[in-house]
C-alpha cells in the first residue's frame, strides 16, 4: 500500500474503530483539518490510549539488545536527533516475543529525522531470507528515537504508523499463515519501552504493557512502559 492509502487506513482505525476514537479525534483534529494536507502526517498519536495486546504476547529483550538500546538512548539525548534501528526475534510457543538481535548503523546518521531508507538494504535481505527459507514465527520491530521537543515527543506520529503499515504489507508478514509479526518501538527521553502492534483482525493498533529484560542467569526484570506519555 502507498502512503496515502496507509494514512486512510490509520485514520479509519483511530477515528472509527478504536474504542478511544473520541480522544484520538480531539488529539489530531487540528492536523486533520489543516489546509496543508501533509500536516496530518505529523499529528501526534498517544500509544497509551491503544487497547492492550493479548497478555501472552509480552516482550522479552535479550541483554545484548537491551544494552544496545541503552546506547541508542544516550545517543538520542546527547545529539538530539532521531535514530532508526531494527530489532529481530521470534515468537515462542507460549506467545512471548523475544528480541535477540538489533541493527543500527550510527555512521550513516546524518538527518534530523529517522528514515528506514538507510536500513532498507539490511532489512530487505533479512526479509528475503524469511521468504526463501519459508520461515515462520519470526518478528521484526521498527524502532526509532524522538529527541525531546516538549511532551509531544512522547507520542508516535501518523507518519510513524504509516511506516509500520508499509512493512506489514509485505506478504511474509501480511499472510497470517506464516505467523510472522511486525512491532514498532518509539524511544523518547523518558526511556520507556512503548512497543505497539497492529492487529490485522481488529484493524486496530495495540500497546504492549509487559516488557522484560532477560539477564544471563535467566532473571527477568520488568521494564518501564507507558510511564510518561503526553495526555
Give per-residue pLDDT as tens, 6-41: 999 999 999 999 999 999 999 999 999 999 989 999
In the chain, domain spans: 3-222
For residue 123, count other CB atoms closer than 10 A to its CB.
17
pTM (two decimals)? 0.89
Which H/E stretch holds residue 68?
helix 63-79
Question: pLDDT (tens digit, 9 = 90+) per residue, 78-115?
Answer: 888 788 888 999 999 999 999 999 988 765 555 555 45
Q: Which residues of 85-112 are buried (b: 16+ CB within 10 A; e: fewer)?
A: bbbbbbbeeeebbbbeebbbeeeebeee
Residue with cell 512491532: 183
Q: Does domain 3-222 have CATH number 3.30.499.10?
A: no
**166 and 208 in contact (C-beta within 8 Å)?**
no
Cα separation, 17 vs 119, in Å, equals 32
Amino acid at each position: 500500500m502507498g502512503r496515502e492509502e496507509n494514512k486512510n487506513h490509520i485514520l479509519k482505525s483511530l477515528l472509527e474503530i478504536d474504542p478511544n476514537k473520541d480522544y484520538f479525534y480531539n488529539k489530531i483534529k487540528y492536523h486533520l483539518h489543516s489546509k496543508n494536507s501533509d500536516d496530518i502526517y505529523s499529528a501526534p498519536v498517544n500509544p497509551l490510549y491503544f487497547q492492550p495486546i493479548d497478555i501472552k504476547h509480552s516482550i522479552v529483550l535479550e541483554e545484548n539488545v537491551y544494552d544496545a538500546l541503552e546506547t541508542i538512548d544516550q545517543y538520542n539525548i546527547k545529539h538530539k536527533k532521531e535514530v532508526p534501528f531494527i530489532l529481530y526475534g521470534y515468537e515462542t510457543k507460549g506467545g512471548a516475543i523475544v528480541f535477540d538481535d538489533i541493527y543500527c548503523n550510527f555512521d550513516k546518521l546524518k538527518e534530523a529525522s529517522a528514515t528506514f531508507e538507510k536500513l532498507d538494504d539490511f532489512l530487505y535481505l533479512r526479509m528475503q531470507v524469511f521468504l526463501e527459507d519459508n520461515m515462520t514465527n519470526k518478528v521484526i520491530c521498527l524502532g526509532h528515537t524522538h529527541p525531546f521537543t516538549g511532551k509531544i515527543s512522547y507520542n508516535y506520529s501518523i507518519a510513524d504508523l504509516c511506516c509500520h503499515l508499509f512493512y506489514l504489507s509485505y506478504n511474509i508478514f501480511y499472510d497470517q499463515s506464516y505467523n510472522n509479526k511486525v512491532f514498532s518501538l518509539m524511544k523518547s527521553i523518558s526511556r520507556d519501552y512503548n512497543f505497539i502492534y497492529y492487529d490485522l483482525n481488529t484493524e486496530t493498533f495495540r500497546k504492549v504493557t509487559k516488557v522484560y529484560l532477560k539477564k544471563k542467569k535467566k532473571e527477568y526484570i520488568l521494564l518501564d512502559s507507558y510511564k510518561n506519555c503526553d495526555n
